[in-house]
Amino acid sequence: MQFSIHRVWLLVRKQWAENKQLYILGLLAVAGIMAACIIFNLVDLPGFEPRMQENILIIGLMASGFVFSTTVLSQLNQKITGINALMLPASALEKLTMAVIYGMIVFPVCFLAIVYPLIVLGHYIDHDVMGRPNSLYAIKANLKILYIYIAFLLLQSAALFSTVLFKRYVLVKGVIMVSLVFFGTIILNPFLARSIIQVHQGTPFAATVKENYYDIKHNVVETKITKELLYSSIWSATPFSDLEITNWEVNRKVKGIDYNAYFTYLTNPYSNLFVLLLIMSIPFLWVITWFRLKEREL
């Protein structure tokens, strides 16, 4: 297995030299679409809220990144350019590394460099010009951003795999493949949840419960941890959230006052299983993409 950093750098330069006009026009198109979304929200009554700023940034990154990654190795699916690409003195691993660099490092940096200033401008118009009390969405290095980046890497990896898996209509077939996997996981999730945690409705089970009691002003009166026998039913969460085991009514007397809670729940870190699967899927997709590229070597 041959691998050279110098050859990867030459492949990166070659990719830019051959496609720079397409990439620049593509980024301008993305900027235009994002600007249209921002303008649409500026004329809406609630204005350019932080939640909408975040949605535009994340959804735009995911969607445009997937489209971009289906083009990085697209020359392999064309007869003339495919032969030229296969004749390059570079291994399949080096070509895959070049595609990963463009799709998972260069593109998100360029996207954020172009789109986030548009969001800042939109917030300025919304807050200072139109007088709406909305704050600016700030990108923070937290667990949520980590999960988003993992999802982005997974989508980019699926896009690269689609490029070497399909020869025609790569984008359409790639979207269908990702949609089938995503919705298939959601459909199968309740069965998986019930197989991981056995909860028999009508049968009590022992649990450790943290209870918070509030007064009429929502101040905490008391917090305590107790051992309880709960009659519960399982609620099948989405694959990427914690599993909730619900108990619908609990009565307590604290300092002579009766408290009645109509909804309490226990959580199980069920999402950790799917986060682990997501992380493992990224190198797995790289490996099978590399094998597909090796099959096309001359």
Separation CA 220–CA 259 (nearest Å): 13
pLDDT of residue 233: 57
Separation CA 58–CA 71 (nearest Å): 20
Residues 105 and 245 in one domain: no
Of the listed ranges 6-10, 116-120, 246-250, the least confidently predicted one is 246-250
Residue 209 belongs to what domain range? 205-269
DSSP H or E segment with residue 297: none
Has this prediction a pTM greater than 0.95? no
DSSP letters for 108-173: HHHHHHHHHHHHHHHHHIIIIIS----PPP----SHHHHHHHHHHHHHHHHHHHHHHH-SSSHHHH
Residues 56 and 137 in one domain: yes
Backbone angles phi, psi at 172, to 5 degrees: -65, -50
Residues 250 and 280 in one domain: no
pLDDT over threshold 70, residue 16: yes
Measured from the Cβ of residue 168, the count of other Cβ atoms closer than 10 Å reads 7
Of the listed ranges 49-58, 60-69, 236-245, 266-275, the least confidently predicted one is 236-245
Residues 128 and 252 in one domain: no
Backbone angles phi, psi at 225, to 5 degrees: -115, 125
Task: Specify if 255 maps to a domain.
Answer: yes
Share of the chain above pLDDT 90, in %: 13
pLDDT of residue 29: 92
Residues 16 and 126 in one domain: yes
Residues 133 and 262 in one domain: no
Helix, strand, coil percentages in the chain from 3-state DSSP, rounded to 5: 60, 15, 25
pLDDT over threshold 60, residue 290: yes
CA distances from 11 to 16, 110, 241 (A): 9, 19, 40
pLDDT over threshold 60, residue 141: yes
pLDDT of residue 269: 60
Counts for the chain of helices (H) and strands (E), in that order: 8, 7
What does the pLDDT look like over 66-94, one tens digit per residue?
Answer: 998 888 887 776 666 666 666 767 777 88
Task: Specify if 245 maps to a domain.
Answer: yes
Tokens of 202: 């009508």
Share of the chain above pLDDT 70, in %: 72
Residues 91 and 214 in one domain: no
What does the pLDDT look like over 201-259, one tens digit per residue?
Answer: 556 667 777 777 777 677 777 787 877 776 655 555 556 555 555 555 566 666 666 66
Under the banding of pLDDT at 50, 70 and 90, the label for residue 123 is confident
pLDDT of residue 25: 92
Residue 87 burial (CB < 10 Å; 0-12/13-18/19+)?
exposed
Under the banding of pLDDT at 50, 70 and 90, the label for residue 117 is very high
Q: Are 99 and 75 in contact (CB under 8 A)?
A: no
Tokens of 199: 């909860």
Under the banding of pLDDT at 50, 70 and 90, the label for residue 28 is very high
